Amino acid sequence: MTKSELIDAMAERGKLTKARAELVVNCVFEAMTEALQQGEGIEIRGFGSFTVRPYKAYSGRNPRTGAPVPVPPKRLPFFKVGKDLKELVNNSRHLAITGGDDGDDD
């Protein structure tokens, strides 16, 4: 499912126009992004929680050339799956994993 498929599904199930559904979906993820930007965690009961984890600077490597690359300190979002969702996902093991179009682009 992509974001646009989520918007379509929201429109149908929520009885909204697509334009409204798009505003809704964008608003939800923007609110979440803003919270994470402020370093604030997000807790959605039954779904999971997002936290921001600080990482120290380290020396990495350019995987193509092998040249050392300094990696500055950074903050990354981390998602912990909620218990209910974890079970729900595990119970889908008998089904093939699907996911719309292709690989893993943003």
Partner 1 sequence: MTKAEIVQALYSKVGGFSKKESADIVDLVFDMMKETLGRGEKIKISGFGNFVLRDKRQRPGRNPQTGDPIQISERRVLTFKASQILKQALNPRGQSAAAGHDADAGARRTEGAAVDHKE
Shortest reach from residue 96's CB to partner 1, in Å: 6
If one asks whether residue 10 binds partner 1 (CB under 8 A), the answer comes out as yes
For residue 60, list its beta bridge partners.
69
CA 14/CA 28 separation, integer angstroms: 15
Characterize 11-41 residue by residue with b for buried, 16 or more Cβ atoms within 10 angstroms of its Cβ, and e for exposed. Answer: beeeeeeeeebbeebeeeeeeeeeebeeeee
Shortest reach from residue 18's CB to partner 1, in Å: 14
If one asks whether residue 59 binds partner 1 (CB under 8 A), the answer comes out as no
Query: 3-state DSSP call for residue 96?
Result: coil
Shortest reach from residue 82's CB to partner 1, in Å: 9
Tally of CA atoms within 13 A in the half-sphere of 45 that contains its CB: 0
If one asks whether residue 17 binds partner 1 (CB under 8 A), the answer comes out as no
Binding footprint of partner 1 on the chain (CB under 8 A): 1-3, 6, 9-10, 13-14, 16, 20, 23-25, 27-33, 35-37, 40-47, 50, 52, 57, 60, 62-64, 69-70, 72-79, 81, 84-86, 88-93, 95-100, 103-106
